Homo-oligomer: A and B are copies of this chain.
Amino acid sequence: MAKRKIDPDDDVRNDRVILEMIQYTETDFLMHENPSLEELIRNVRPEYTSWINVDGLHDKALVAEIGTHFKMHPLLVDDILNDHQTKTEEFDEHLFFTMKMLHSISGSQIEYEQISFVLGKDYLLSFQEKEGDLFGTLRERIKKASGKTRSRKVDYLMYRLIDIIVDSYYTVLDSVGHRIEEIEEVVHKDTTGAEFDKLQVINKELIYLRKALYPLRDALKKMTKDESGFIDPSTIRYFRDVYDHVGHLIDSLDTYKDLTSGLMDIHINTMNSRMNEVMKVLAVISTIFMPLTFIVGIYGMNFDFMPEIHTHWGYPIVWITMILIVVGMITYFKYKKWF
């Protein structure tokens, strides 16, 4: 959660920062792969809707340079480089939006990556911590001019990007839902506590998802009430739609939280029932055999004077007594519903 500090040693990493620029109008499409900063700046023109994507944030100097060119407020540059929040903020020249993107979902391990958007009049800058994103399909669609993106402005582009990220949250929550259902079916039979551990893993994921989604809802709410003029009134409805989706995600999250905690209760109850059962077995065995062992102990004593020992019926009578005791005990336990 750290607000990472600017540390010159960080730059030693030999990962390159990757720049990419897509420019389009309804009729035209240009793609600059990995241009130099100068190239990039030279090409941004109001005739085009320009989307500039920056992968990797370790080259602070580069980001600062971009900031200077696009007249970003120092706090804005600082937020892009150091912040791990989710928020919307208006600046004189830009609308700033930063959120958490689910970077990769290998197995059930979720990794978060910070993504920041800087929306200007006719350009959109996006800053990602690592290479690789969820926008491949969209790039294709823009290129092929399929879908509505080409016919609309840069604010709609930002909506599309956010929408894609929010959709990936649906995928994660769905997977959580399926895992909960799986656990639900076996939680009664779990003797090892393995299911409890799985529930705790889910619990932890839900905690992190909540940390991502709640501020996201607030940030999007701010966007739907935008008065900065960077978002066209006709696009605001689309942002409201994403906002509604996030609200729905949060509802599901809360439901999953409740289900998880219900399953934990079931697990604990199951454990306790089993414990009860074990204790009953112990108590039954002890209650039956302790008196019997005592009785046979008596007639193992070596007293000279023990008249019973010398009678012919002594041994059978002891047996009969013991059998009666066993029968009595079992009847008692049946009555007490111990088994």
Binding site for B on A (CB under 8 A): 1-3, 73, 75, 79, 83-85, 87, 89, 167, 170, 173-174, 177, 188, 191-193, 196-197, 200, 203-204, 207-208, 210-211, 214-215, 237-238, 241, 244-245, 247-248, 251-252, 254-255, 258-259, 262, 264-276, 278-283, 285-287, 289-294, 296-306, 309-312, 314-315, 318, 337-338
Q: Chain B residues near A203: list those with CB within 8 A.
A: 262
Q: Are A299 and B303 in contact (CB under 8 A)?
A: yes
Q: Which of B1, B247, B310 contacts A174 (CB 8 A)?
A: B1
Contact A314:B303 (CB < 8 A) given known A207-B262, A259-B204, A287-B285: yes
Which of chain B's residues has its CB closest to A281's CB? B283
| Cα–Cα, bound, A238→B303 (Å) | 94
Q: Which of B3, B208, B306 contacts A170 (CB 8 A)?
A: B3
Q: Are A282 and B283 in contact (CB under 8 A)?
A: yes
Which of chain B's residues has its CB closest to A91's CB? B237
Q: Chain B residues near A305: list those with CB within 8 A.
A: 311-312, 314-315
Q: Are A87 and B244 in contact (CB under 8 A)?
A: yes
Q: Are A276 and B274 in contact (CB under 8 A)?
A: yes
Which of chain B's residues has its CB closest to A270's CB? B193
Which of chain B's residues has its CB closest to A79's CB? B241
Q: Which of B208, B258, B314 contacts A255 (CB 8 A)?
A: B208
Q: Are A269 and B193 in contact (CB under 8 A)?
A: yes
- The winner among A211, A214, A270 for most chain B CB atoms within 10 A is A211
| Cα–Cα, bound, A288→B28 (Å) | 85
Q: Are B297 and A248 in contact (CB under 8 A)?
A: no
Nearest 5 pairs between A and B by C-beta? A296-B297, A299-B301, A289-B290, A300-B300, A282-B283
Q: Chain B residues near A197: list those with CB within 8 A.
A: 188, 266
Q: Which of B262, B271, B282, B303 contacts A276 (CB 8 A)?
A: B271
| Cα–Cα, bound, A298→B89 (Å) | 85
CB distance from A45 to the nearest CB of B (A): 30
- 10 A-B Cβ contacts within 8 A? A75-B237, A204-B259, A271-B276, A274-B276, A286-B290, A296-B297, A296-B300, A297-B297, A301-B318, A302-B309
CB distance from A161 to the nearest CB of B (A): 17
Q: Are B276 and A279 in contact (CB under 8 A)?
A: no
Q: Are B301 and A200 in contact (CB under 8 A)?
A: no
CB distance from A38 to the nearest CB of B (A): 28
Q: Chain B residues near A237: list those with CB within 8 A.
A: 73, 75
Q: Are B262 and A265 in contact (CB under 8 A)?
A: no
| 13 additional A-B residue pairs with CB within 8 Å, beyond A3-B167, A276-B278 | A1-B177, A85-B245, A188-B197, A193-B270, A200-B266, A214-B251, A279-B279, A285-B290, A293-B293, A299-B303, A302-B309, A303-B309, A304-B311
Q: Chain B residues near A338: list those with CB within 8 A.
A: 278
Q: Are A273 and B276 in contact (CB under 8 A)?
A: no
Q: Are B293 and A290 in contact (CB under 8 A)?
A: yes
Q: Which of B75, B174, B191 contacts A238 (CB 8 A)?
A: B75
Q: Are A273 and B193 in contact (CB under 8 A)?
A: yes
